Chain A
Amino acid sequence: MIRVQREDVDMDAVLEAVKSMKSGCVVSFFGTVRDTSEGRSVQRMSIEVYEEMAVKQLSMIRDEALERFGVHEVAVVHRYGDLEVGNNIVYIGVSAGHREEAFQACRYVIDELKERVPLWKKEYTADGEVWVEGDRRE
């Protein structure tokens, strides 16, 4: 399951999509909106997405994780639009036979997402609006 959506993550639905009879575990990662960023107090956040490309990139990362770590299923749900402090931003779920490869694959997916998937955070602070930008090299 790969989704880019405004709505919150439906945990039950995602878990059902990830779990399988042959799997012994599901490792989950949630990214959430923090109330500070680089010393600034964050009041809220908005996330912009290049949706068509984001879905394409996430599907590629999912396929890489399945192939590289031999896990059973990978689900990613990333939100965009206006978010409040404490809201969910992203959910990653990985099912596998054993926890070792599930943790590794989950880590791989979030690390690659932060480098390659076209999403941008804008933080609203007491000092104004700030685009957050990563440090990807060409």
Chain B
Amino acid sequence: MRVRVKYFASFRDMTGKTEETLDVPEGVTVEGFREHVKGLYEKIARRDQVLVAVNGVFMPLRTVVREGDDVAFFPPVSGG
């Protein structure tokens, strides 16, 4: 299935993209999706902290991602 992915802050710099559509297997979990992205981008793979949000919410790593979900990858936040 195809899922839209967004990248923010230093991850946008590392991928050179603000967003893209990725082909991932049906039933993939948040954790599996993160491994997939780490496999595509070595610089992200080297990071200790790779945060993932699904539809604007932090979901448990075992959560299954569905077609049409909005998945975002980013480093630890630094607002305030």
Contacts and interface: CB of A to CB of B under 8 A. Distances in A.
B78 to A, nearest CB: 4
Q: Is the interface of B mostly helix, strand, loop or mixed?
A: loop
Contacts, number: 86
Interface in A113-138: 113-122, 131-138
Could you say which interface size class chain B belongs to?
Answer: 20 to 34
Count chain B CB atoms within 10 A of each CB in A49, A122, A133 and give the residue with the most. Answer: A133
Interface in B52-75: 53, 56-58, 61, 72, 74-75
Interface of A: 31, 47-50, 52-54, 56-57, 78, 89-90, 110, 113-122, 131-138
Given A119-B79, A133-B49, 12 more contacts: A50-B72, A52-B56, A78-B80, A118-B74, A118-B79, A119-B78, A119-B80, A120-B10, A120-B77, A134-B76, A136-B76, A138-B49
